[in-house]
Amino acid sequence: MPAQHHKTASDDKVSFGQKLAYGAGGYADNLMQNSVNQMAKPVFNMTLGVDPGLLTTALALPRLWDAIIDPFIGTASDNARTRWGRRKPFVVVGATLCGLLFALLWMVPHGWPKAGYLAHFFIVVMLFYTAYAVFTVPYGAVGIEMSPDYHERTRVVAFRTFFSGIAGISTSWMLWLSQRSVFTDALHGMHWVGLGVGLTMIVLGVMPALFVKERGQTKARKQRKVPLLPSLKESITIKSFRLILLIIVLMSIGLFMVNGLGYYINIYYVFGGDMRAASAIQGVTGTVYQVSGMLALPLITMASSRFGKRRTLFVCLFLPLVGTIAKWFCYTPSYPYLQVVPPLLMSPGLACLWTLLGSMLADVTDVDELKHGVRREGTLNAIYMWASKLGTSAAVLMSGYVISFSGFKAEFGGAQTPESMLVMRALVAFLPALSIAAAIIIVKRFPIGEAEAYATRKELEHRRAMAPRSAQ
């Protein structure tokens, strides 16, 4: 426990309404980030027969492009000077385009050649993730700016995590919704489900722009504009920032490379090829995962306030470590619902990870200002998102070839070979464990605790107070 516990000043607190609006954007952000990946394989591979390796390549390349343009979007946002602020125009445009393009993605008929499906998928997904970069980088910067307080930052990010969890429940049931008897197949179902999800992206995505006040606009207008390359070089010199980037890359690769394998194990190992039955339990386990993480958020914020972010995250990461290993034992045809156990363990720990990493990133922006004299929340969040998307892109790219390597054949239906299912089960259980173990070691070495964060803020406030005198 820190020697001195700090209480959040009233001026540093963010109103419930603004937290709510920011959290609504987190719902949209989660849909944008995960819905395409969630439904790509069931629709384009399992239903339309597109090769899984080619499909995941067509999915990974836009994510890689998305990662490449993030720093440009972040710098453009930091240097923007509009009557609506630095972030809001990007958020509105990005959310609107994402909603429209997501609905368009599934609007293909049966009867096309597989190359046509692949080309349509690649072009629309490339445009979609370009729009997503325009939305998510400035949106993340808005959250960083909402409070300068070490603890209030965690509470703000907790709202985002909470609403992201609700969105996660929605995506967990997308396959189930597309399988209803009113639809002929998953493609027909996604014609309509895609429209609803796209509209939700637009409505909730613009909420932060409409109702969250951008903090520090006066200072931002006066500070010098920083070109992209110098800004990137200065940012990467901060040790605490490099450690955060390493954690996010490791976790993205470890989790997302095998995340889609759960579908295949459920459908072809647990349920013998019955997609409709598997979709129901997929929805149940996804709901359990998200609800358990959401319920853990009050405990996470209280523990962080009492023990600090670093110690809280270090302890919490042991939960997903145990949970992912438990998958080896819990995916079984004899007891299908036993697979609700791993998400009960994993979700609280991962909710802690995503919440506290976002809050730690806000603390890094203070260290950056102390060292370099500028506020660049957009650039730092862009690099953070770049690292996340780079890891996710690599994971998604490898995941399709992992499926092919395992020996899975869509034409075999429920008669997949035992060897292919064994490979999938081993990867889904043990590969994430390696990434989580590495992240635990890195968190232990993170240099910013509560005392260091408040000392940095005190020095920044002293400098700002002295700046007008120096100018006289």
Domain residue ranges of the chain, discontinuous segments joined by +: 16-214+229-466
* pLDDT (average), residues 73-100: 90
Q: Look up the pTM and report it.
A: 0.77
Written in H, E and C, the secondary structure of 388-405 is HHHHHHHHHHHHHHHHHH
Helix (H, G, I), strand (E, B) or coil at 445: coil
CATH class of the domain whose range is 16-214+229-466: mainly alpha
Cβ neighbours of residue 242 under 8 Å, at least 6 residues apart? 236
- Better pLDDT: 125 or 177: 125
Q: Give the rounded distance of the alpha carbon of 125 from its chain centre.
A: 17
Closest listed residue to residue 110, CA positions, set 40, 59, 49, 58: 49
In sign, the C-alpha dihedral spanning 334, 339, 342, 344 is: negative
User: Model confidence at 22, in pLDDT bands (50, 70, 90)?
Assistant: very high
Write out the two tokens for 296. Answer: 């853990």
HSE value, Cβ hemisphere, 13 Å, CA-based, for 75: 18
Write 307-310 long-range contacts (CB < 8 A, 24+): 307/1, 308/1, 308/2, 308/449, 308/450, 309/154, 309/356, 309/359, 309/360, 309/363, 309/449, 309/450, 310/443, 310/444, 310/446, 310/448, 310/449
Closest C-alpha among 163, 160, 155 to residue 301:
155
User: Taking residues 337-352, what's their average pLDDT?
Assistant: 93
Q: Residue 466: its pLDDT value, please?
A: 76
pLDDT digits (tens, 9 = 90+) for 213-249: 877 655 555 566 667 778 888 888 999 999 999 999 9
